[in-house]
Amino acid sequence: MKPSTIAIDGPAASGKSTIGELLARRLGYLYLDTGAMYRAVTWIALEQGIDIADEEAITALTKRVEINITRHTADDGRQYTVYADGQDVTWHIRRSEVDANVSPVSAYPGVRQALTDQQRQIGQRGRIVMVGRDIGTVVLPEADLKIYLEATVEERAHRRHREILDRGEESDYEEVLAAMRRRDNIDSEREAAPLRPADDAVIIDTTELSIAEVLARVEELI
């Protein structure tokens, strides 16, 4: 029988969202990128001028804000559309201010609790590919298939750098690399749900692999 709940975890730019979306499309499953939820909270906090270091205020905001992720509503390269309190924030959450602040926000246990509850509710319905940092370990520990994607930090920084340039924005490789190292550190060292593969996850190193090759490996597993 095909796995109904698929968890894909890994660090930034390891290929999670590309593989997750393609896989979900092939299987006819729902695709949920949980990083977008942490990013949406971070963007709203920045927009409202809430101090990122103020754990209590950020946690209260997370409980208050309504995040909705739907099918893409425009053909502008987006994978899906993200609404925060009814506002389309799909592109706002990709800004560098969000990149720089999302990891401290995601380290707050209260923030994780609120978002994890929502993710679990969606996951329980099955026929889903859920992508993030802690899906196999915390959100859906009972997932039918767990995949952990990794790649060297230099390769991941190159991918992110190209993505930013492709969007027509300016990017400096060394800056992207330094920011990615900082985020990797916070994500792996935090107490609450640190980034790590689940014991029963299949680990795939994507450094030397094309998207098609990674997808082929994942499909073999299915």
Q: Which residues bind ligand CDP (CB under 6 A)?
A: 12-13, 34-35, 38-39, 102-103, 106, 132-134, 183, 187
Give me the least distance between CB of 214 and ligand CDP, in Å please: 15
φ, ψ at 141 (rounded to 5°): -65, -15
Among residues 34 and 206, whose Cβ is nearest to ligand CDP?
34
Cα 32 from Cα 5, distance rounded (Å): 11
Among residues 12 and 114, whose Cβ is nearest to ligand CDP?
12
Give me the least distance between CB of 1 and ligand CDP, in Å please: 26
Report the candidate in 90, 92, 105, 95 with the shortest Cα–Cα distance to residue 51: 105
Cα 49 from Cα 43, distance rounded (Å): 10
Give me the least distance between CB of 116 and ligand CDP, in Å please: 8
Strand, coil or helix: 164: helix
Among residues 13 and 69, whose Cβ is nearest to ligand CDP?
13
CA distances from 204 to 15, 117, 157 (A): 10, 28, 18
Give me the least distance between CB of 102 and ligand CDP, in Å please: 4
